[in-house]
Chain A
Amino acid sequence: MSYLNDQPAGILVLGYGNPLCTDDAVGWHVVEALEGRLPDGSTATFHQLTPEWAEPISAARHVIFVDAAVDGVPGEVHCFPIAAAAGRPGSHETTPDGLLSMAGDLFGRCPPAHMVTIAGDSFEISESLTPAVAAAVPLAVAQIYELIEQLNIAETPPMA
């Protein structure tokens, strides 16, 4: 997805984390598994959430954030709605609720959003997921696909 693409997305699925830190990469794996099943420009993977995502988020009909969770039983998948909240930015990263807030404040629209988390087992240096987390990828993909079908928004144009 292009930051500067003027074509707004219906659904926007964002997977993020460090792909060199074992299960921190699970957001990438989940989103890459969704690619080809969603319209072009509906998915993106990156290392960190940065303020630059506020604009594309504001243009989306619905946003799904996919990230590894530090706590929980490894491989456990959770999907829950999230709302805008004042974020606590680091030097160059922010939070999903903070980005939603910024999308509303700066670009005039805060779309509804969900968070999908997959509990990780290891965050050490490795390019492979642990077995439990790798096994959870299809489950997370299925949950996201189900959510999108329920919302019936994949092809729906965004609200004005």
Chain B
Amino acid sequence: MNKTITIDPVTRIEGHSKITIHLDDTGRVDSARFHVTQFRGFEKLVEGRPFHEMPSLTARICGICPVSHLIASAKACDALMAVKIPETAAKLRQVLNLSQILQSHALSFFHLSSPDLVLGMDSDPAKRNIFGVAAEMPDLAKDGIWLRQYGQETIALLAGKRIHPAWVVPGGVSAPLTEDRRDAILAKIPEATKRVRRTLDWYKEVFGQFDAEIRTFANFPSLFMGLVTDNGELEMYDGKLRFIDATGRIVADKIEPEKFGDYIEEAVEPDSYLKSPYYKALGYPDGIYRVGPLARLNLIDRVGTPLADEEWSEFRMLERGASLSSFQYHYARLIEMLFCVEKIEKLLNSPDILSDHVRAKADPNSLEGIGVSEAPRGTLMHHYKIDRQGMMVWANLIIATGHNNLAMNKGVYQVARYFIHGEKIQEGMLNRVEAVIRTFDPCLSCSTHAFGQMPLRVELRSPDGELLDEVHQG
């Protein structure tokens, strides 16, 4: 008789979800599914609203990633207005986006995932949290807190507040940067650099202890997608889309972001509110691809900042082609944090960064606009259509977590097959099934455009649907 395990809710991620694992007659894992159980429907909610409200409206999708939505939405609005925004405004948006990536990566690595790395996958779950990390490695915990503070404070210094800032507007930003604020951000760069490098050094010492997890945490061939600059460097704000395969070979390159629909389609599964985008040419579900830090570092030719480039060279030694284990999202996240700090410094030292020409104004000149940028978790796409009065008639948002949906499902299956045996869920097994999801750092509020908190449930079911075991968390 077949059996099913349910993990509900999944913990230490952003959002509500559950995992269902089906066992065959011999007690081996037969299939596994990651279900996102929250719904918001933001794409319908915005219909009928003036297009210029979209950055503020879509920023409300998530309290963790509001800046990412502001950026992609404002870029879609720029396209509706058919304007080229001032250079300074583009640089300021970049600094804001990099600060968001920095603080979000710090949250993911230090607050959510470091408990597994510091205390161990099988450690006491009551202590496997940021408090446990603070007790075991206080300096690491302090670095995490400091780095997240720094990212958030930079957002506040640029945009007025840390959460839901209204500074990014169609056509640019609403106010220029002042000298004192620029200097306040720059003054902390050396400290930020030191703390990220120290964490990277620590991570490189310990990740070898997780050999079984590296081998089984969503470690399979897939495509990878992300933005790159014209010369193949890491790009978080603009650039062109690139796809590579598992060997590192470029499959599609120099794709204008507004042409993404020629390459990506979205499938819907009945058991999840999270859509499943796939690479069109390979069809569904074979067109599986990954986005986010691991994908970005796999597909670039170089990072483009000196310290991050040194680290990236070492990272690329992990495998001959692309790094396939999603466990190394952690590694990639840390390198990207270093890149963010270096790039913020470079942008803020631009001669024109304090210019007061930061906004282009225009009425809508196009009835359709697309904005694409890199969010912490991967490529974010906002696609809008408006009527002649500038009112929204249609919106489609493709979020990083959605791009990763097929890979997360495959990863859950892989790790469950390796670690789950029998009809009872042991704590270490449960945590590893959750931890593979955590490597992707999914944001389920964003990906379903949903409202609320995000815990998880795991169910273990027999082939005839009988519930054998169930675990709730969060």
> Could you tell me if A89 and B153 are in contact, using CB atoms closer than 8 angstroms?
no
Q: Is A36 an interface residue, CB under 8 A from the partner?
A: no
> Could you tell me if B148 and A52 are in contact, using CB atoms closer than 8 angstroms?
yes
> Could you tell me if B131 and A89 are in contact, using CB atoms closer than 8 angstroms?
yes
Chain B residues lying within 8 Å of A54, measured Cβ to Cβ, are: 145
Chain A residues lying within 8 Å of B150, measured Cβ to Cβ, are: 4
Q: List residues of B (89-139) whose CB comes within 8 Å of A's CBs.
A: 107, 111-112, 129-131, 134-135, 138
Cα A87 to Cα B135 with chains together (Å):
12
How close is A22's CB to chain B, nearest CB, in angstroms?
15
List 16 extra interface pairs beyond A2-B153, A51-B148, A92-B111, CB under 8 A. A4-B188, A46-B163, A47-B63, A51-B130, A51-B141, A54-B145, A87-B131, A89-B130, A89-B131, A92-B14, A94-B130, A101-B131, A102-B131, A105-B134, A106-B138, A107-B142
> Could you tell me if B112 and A105 are in contact, using CB atoms closer than 8 angstroms?
no
Interface flags for B133-176 (1: CB within 8 Å of A; 0: not) read 01100100110111011101100100000110000000000000
> Could you tell me if A47 and B11 are in contact, using CB atoms closer than 8 angstroms?
no
Interface flags for A1-41 (1: CB within 8 Å of B; 0: not) read 01110000000000000000000000000000000000000
Chain B residues lying within 8 Å of A4, measured Cβ to Cβ, are: 149-150, 153, 184, 188
> Could you tell me if A52 and B131 are in contact, using CB atoms closer than 8 angstroms?
no
Cα A52 to Cα B153 with chains together (Å):
11
Closest B residue by C-beta to A5 = B153
Q: List residues of B (1-36) whose CB comes within 8 Å of A's CBs.
A: 11-14
Cα A51 to Cα B110 with chains together (Å):
11
> Could you tell me if B14 and A91 are in contact, using CB atoms closer than 8 angstroms?
yes
Cα A48 to Cα B63 with chains together (Å):
10
Sorting the interface of chain A by its residue count into under 10, 10 to 19, 20 to 34 or 35 or more gives 20 to 34
| Given the contacts A46-B163, A52-B145, A106-B145, A3 and B134 also touching, CB distance less than 8 Å | no
Residues of A at the B interface (CB closer than 8 Å) are 2-4, 46-48, 50-52, 54-55, 86-92, 94, 98, 101-102, 105-107
How close is B140's CB to chain A, nearest CB, in angstroms?
10
> Could you tell me if A105 and B188 are in contact, using CB atoms closer than 8 angstroms?
no
Closest A residue by C-beta to B451 = A125
Closest A residue by C-beta to B141 = A106
> Could you tell me if A91 and B130 are in contact, using CB atoms closer than 8 angstroms?
no
> Could you tell me if B138 and A105 are in contact, using CB atoms closer than 8 angstroms?
yes
- Top 7 A-B pairs, shortest CB-CB distance: A3-B149, A52-B149, A89-B129, A4-B153, A3-B153, A106-B134, A105-B134
> Could you tell me if B12 and A91 are in contact, using CB atoms closer than 8 angstroms?
yes
Chain B residues lying within 8 Å of A101, measured Cβ to Cβ, are: 131
Cα A117 to Cα B377 with chains together (Å):
37
Contact of B131 among A46, A50, A92, A98 (CB under 8 A): A98
Chain B residues lying within 8 Å of A50, measured Cβ to Cβ, are: 148
Interface flags for B440-474 (1: CB within 8 Å of A; 0: not) read 00000000000001100000000000000000001
Q: Is B64 an interface residue, CB under 8 A from the partner?
A: yes
Interface flags for B348-386 (1: CB within 8 Å of A; 0: not) read 000000000000000000000000000000000000000
Chain A residues lying within 8 Å of B149, measured Cβ to Cβ, are: 3-4, 52, 55
Chain A residues lying within 8 Å of B63, measured Cβ to Cβ, are: 47-48
Cα A4 to Cα B142 with chains together (Å):
13
Cα A103 to Cα B142 with chains together (Å):
10
Closest A residue by C-beta to B107 = A92
Chain A residues lying within 8 Å of B153, measured Cβ to Cβ, are: 2-4
Closest B residue by C-beta to A93 = B453
> Could you tell me if A102 and B453 are in contact, using CB atoms closer than 8 angstroms?
no
> Could you tell me if B13 and A91 are in contact, using CB atoms closer than 8 angstroms?
yes
Closest B residue by C-beta to A20 = B60
> Could you tell me if B163 and A51 are in contact, using CB atoms closer than 8 angstroms?
no
Cα A101 to Cα B111 with chains together (Å):
16
Q: List residues of B (240-287) whose CB comes within 8 Å of A's CBs.
A: none
Contact of B145 among A51, A86, A89, A90 (CB under 8 A): A51
Chain B residues lying within 8 Å of A106, measured Cβ to Cβ, are: 134, 138, 141-142, 145
